[in-house]
Amino acid sequence: MTSTTSSPDEPTAAQPVGRTDLPALDVLLPAAEHLPPDAREERLAALYAYGPPTRGAHVVRANMVASVDGAAWGPDHRSGSINDDADWRVFRVLRALADVVLVGAGTARAEGYTALDRPRGLRHLHDAPLELAIVTRTGRVPEALTQGERPPYVLTAPAGAASARADVPPDRVLVVGHDTAGTTDGEDSGVVDLAAGLAALADRGLVRVLTEGGPTLLGDLLAADLVDELCVTTTPTVVGRGPGRIVAGTAPSGTTALPPRGARLAHLLHSPDDRPGSPSGTTAARWLLPLG
């Protein structure tokens, strides 16, 4: 899942802006560097600067968190169960740099998403509003997102268009994809064309895309070869059986997995976090994915 807490766009009362007790980060690659807590996070932002588009007009970056044994969430089915302060530093910077956050409707419900805003204290990195876009085959929008002055964009198939337009203004509904025969879970079935959805967002000036999952949406984006970067934070936690991986969904054509392809490590951060009582060893990797 994403590296959010129960309030995914801003810190909780236990995570105020400008904290001086956050863990430092050491850059292991490409060159050793120490990044102490920094209210403006300009050096960390430089490490995560978006590259030029290679897949159409947009750049898609995925941000996920996992335990050392591969779990995408903890016992409460939220990623907040396994993230930590080092992950939170990276998470805020990634949101500060993006034009739009793309998530699946199920993840939006499970993680308690509300309307987004640029993280406080980091608006100097990007002063435009931070938009939210959700992907929903059925067009159903989480209730918490149907209220407020800036509702999300909704990427849905034709079968879900009417439902989506009942929840958000029509200009926020992007109908991309096609319907399929029959119904699923009592709803008309459809397929969302993610490439067309990303192109529609780019037409609206939303070029720098940050997807925060969940695992099924990330799997669909990878299957369609639409992910330019995969940022994975691994926290020093062990969860055991139960939770899924950061990538889920059915592999195409009945295969068990996508054909393996290479990735290039752009940088690797490490948080030793020697504060008393704190687990140590969180890593944050930024992987660049070549065209498949």
Please report, in angstroms and rounded to a whole number, the separation of the first and last CA atoms in the chain: 24
Contact 28, 138 (CB under 8 A): no
Classify 175 as helix, strand or coil. strand
Q: Mean pLDDT check: name the lowest of 6-10, 29-33, 127-131, 261-265.
A: 6-10
CA distances from 244 to 1, 78, 134, 158, 201 (A): 10, 11, 21, 30, 29
Contact 232, 68 (CB under 8 A): no
pTM: 0.87
Judged against a pLDDT cut of 90, whether residue 105 lies above it is answered with yes
State which amino acid sits at residue 81.
S
pLDDT score of 185: 56
* Residue from 58, 105, 65 nearest 81 by CA: 65
Give rounded-to-5 percent helix, strand, coil for the chain: 25, 25, 50
35-80 pLDDT, tens per residue? 998 999 999 999 999 999 989 899 999 999 999 999 998 888 888 8
Beta bridge partners of 271: 282
pLDDT score of 46: 96
Q: Please, what are the domains in the chain? A: 25-69+77-222+260-268+275-288 (3.40.430.10)
Contact 121, 231 (CB under 8 A): no
Q: Exposed/middle/buried for 224, CB within 10 Å: 0-12, 13-18, 19+?
A: middle
* Residue from 179, 144, 147, 143 nearest 161 by CA: 179
